[in-house]
Structure 1
């Protein structure tokens, strides 16, 4: 079994919420909550935060986290992850943990890593959960996924899938933005032929599917929302306060 590296990409320049990884939730920056949750995952052999900004590096090192400076030119978290892999060559599986999900559960990280280890022929694994009552699956920023019986992804979409032409007792699954990659696949991901599906939906993972690679989907029941906007930050702060997680 190969060694597993957890990587938290933490880009400072978010389009909708610049500097959000350093936004405070209580007295801690958001990235600290992500790091401390990921440190509790039993399936990671090592954990590092990858950033492009000295302000993030300083904040991470101030709370005792390990931080690697990476290029400012990366267009995606996958590109940043591939640069990290160049520095950490003795890890066979790399888990991309979103830096804007302060409520991520260690069990979710372990589940995605374990699924990748148990299915070495699947180049990637990710996660999903059923939509909850009151959540709107029609929102295009909430990505949906459908899977085979064995848990391999069939398709990801911003549209509602499956389309409910007939009423069936089947949940709609919300895709969660965590990925585990086989190292050699990660290093050649950017060389895959261009994907019309990826361009149409603006979903990078569709490039893997369109080029006949497999993505396993770990199903979880509980997951706190990520942070895309200041309004999301206020919402997660309220949730943390109600659960006694605010630091």
Structure 2
């Protein structure tokens, strides 16, 4: 089943680790332009940048992107998406893909994949992606979000802790991954229906979300099903730190 969808790219100016992150130059262009270019290579019928800062609006106008100035005080990118959906007057069943504004190397295939997965799973309110975890260091890294799913591909839970906990194997050794355990890393790209975004904002944060600092737990708390599929390809890392920025700069400047 194919269904039209739009991409919204939330882009905040403030960042504790990398101020002005969307406007940082990579291969001579602002990072947000690289993200936008990748999104435009997908099958999306529309790509909209949602920002809280006039400087980003000006930059986006400079390279021809559609951009909306949104409120400053949003707690998350999903809240910003909900404002965009309302401003654009999207119908409740419209599919909206959230592409994070610090993913200048995001493969367009993953954007198409997550949108198609939501269209083909009407029981789910959200679709997202994951990939296998290959080493013990990644498993215990709290910055890597782990996901556990049921036999139909619906998420059971997300956590920054090792998940699932291999009780016997990890009690005897934490030097290597236990064999046969389906450890998966969550990839932070989402497809939503516009009607869900309205509900998400109305609910407000829940205790699990605040505890783990993972907003997708708000959806599970309210009984919303999240479809999780293995990504068609492994995405390059995003930009969270100055070191990440230099890594992506080196990659694109020699591409």
Query: Matches of residues 12-27 of structure 1 in structure 2 within 5 Å?
Result: 12-27=13-28
Query: Residues 133 and 234 (structure 1 numbering): CA distance in 2 closer, same or farther, change over 3 Å?
Result: farther
Q: 2:228: which partner in 1?
A: 217
What is the CA-CA distance between 1:132 and the residue it aligns to? 4.5
Q: 2:183: which partner in 1?
A: 172
Q: Provide the rounded CA distance (Å) in 1 between the counterparts of 2:124 and 2:105.
A: 27
Q: Provide the rounded CA distance (Å) in 1 between the counterparts of 2:200 and 2:97.
A: 15
Query: Matches of residues 33-52 of structure 1 in structure 2 within 5 Å?
Result: 33-42=34-43, 44-52=44-52
Alignment partner of 2:240 out of 223, 228, 231: 228
Report SS of the residue matched to 2:131: strand
Query: Is there any run of 5+ residues in structure 2 with no aligned partner, and where?
Result: 170-177
Report SS of the residue matched to 1:95: strand
- Give the conservation status (yes or no) of the 8 Å contact 2:90–2:194: no
Q: 1:31: which partner in 2?
A: 32
Q: 1:98: which partner in 2?
A: 100
What is the CA-CA distance between 1:168 and the residue it aligns to? 2.8
TM-score (norm 1): 0.92
Instruction: Indicate yes or no: 2:197 matched with 1:186.
Output: yes
- Give the conservation status (yes or no) of the 8 Å contact 1:195–1:207: yes
CA offsets 1:116-148 (integer angstroms, 9 cap, x no match): 100112011111122345862211111111111
Query: Residues 138 and 61 (structure 1 numbering): CA distance in 2 closer, same or farther, change over 3 Å?
Result: same
RMSD between superposed Cα atoms in Å: 1.8
CA offsets 1:36-73 (integer angstroms, 9 cap, x no match): 0110111x121100111111111111111111111112
Q: 1:114: which partner in 2?
A: 116
Runs of 4+ aligned structure 1 residues displaced above 4 Å come to: 132-135
Size of the alignment, in residue pairs? 242
Report SS of the residue matched to 1:179: strand
Query: Is there any run of 5+ residues in structure 1 with no aligned partner, and where?
Result: none
TM-score (norm 2): 0.89
What is the CA-CA distance between 1:3 and the residue it aligns to? 3.7
- Give the conservation status (yes or no) of the 8 Å contact 2:147–2:157: yes
Query: Residues 134 and 225 (structure 1 numbering): CA distance in 2 closer, same or farther, change over 3 Å?
Result: farther
